Amino acid sequence: MDGPPPRPDDVAELVDHLGSLGVREVMTTALGPLDQESFTARGFIPHEHLLLLHRPIDPGNPPARPAPALAPALARRSTRTRRARARNRVAVLELDDRAFAPFSPFWRFDAGALIEAEQATESHRRRVVRQRARGGMGATVIGHAITGRTATIGFLQRLAVDPAAEGRGVGSALVVDALRWLGRTGAREAWVNTQPDNDRARALYLRHGFTERREGLDVLRRVIGDSTEEDSTEESVGDSDR
């Protein structure tokens, strides 16, 4: 989170407001340990854990382009990144759904989530990798990435590769493209998160210079009307009376 974390009373006020609007369940964004404290004090519990990885960016030493996993001529065609256009949006969402299907529903994106990821930072870059259809008629999106930057901090907001195209360097091409763009536009560090059981994604980021942060992140959840907060408040009052 940017800036200081909210106070427990701020969280309680927000929960009460959402409850008055008819909301019955609230989930936070991915939070670090310090940012979680005010939420857990008001009845939020862990819902999803995320691995957090980080790497510095040296603009004078851009990351090397990945070695081709295929014959060079074919590799250039199959891993070239291109600007994502409006007409690619449906294909990107379909690809994203295929890529994250093995994981919990938390990781699934709809059109609204895609827009939120693009708007979460001061500037962003959307890229796709396409595969030419047999016979040369049209092309299929087999990889996509959203990269964001705020000031000197970069974020790999979303990266997905079609399961049928795994092992062909598509993910590496998207990561290198993202890091080079971040370096050119003034970022000095990059962050990414992924699922704890996504071994392929974790290995991809480690290969490209990211290191795993021990603390990770957590998304927290609270059911409005749950008695947890009331019980916690009562215990706090009782402690102060002793």
pLDDT band at 66 (very low <50, low <70, confident <90, very high): low
pLDDT for the residue numbered 79: 80
pLDDT in tens, 2-30: 568 889 999 999 999 999 999 999 999 89
Mean pLDDT of 150-164: 96
pLDDT for the residue numbered 14: 94
pLDDT for the residue numbered 238: 42
pLDDT for the residue numbered 234: 43
pLDDT band at 61 (very low <50, low <70, confident <90, very high): confident
Amino acid identity, residue 117? A
Given a cut of 90, whether residue 219 has pLDDT beyond it is yes
Coil, strand, or helix at residue 166?
coil
Domains and CATH numbers, the chain: 8-49+220-241 (no CATH), 58-187 (3.40.630.30)
pLDDT band at 217 (very low <50, low <70, confident <90, very high): very high
Please name which of 170, 209, 171, 207 lies closest in space to residue 189, comparing C-alpha atoms.
Answer: 209
DSSP character at residue 168: S
Using CA atoms, how far apart are residues 127 and 109, in angstroms rounded to an integer? Answer: 16
What is the pTM (predicted TM-score) of this model?
Answer: 0.82
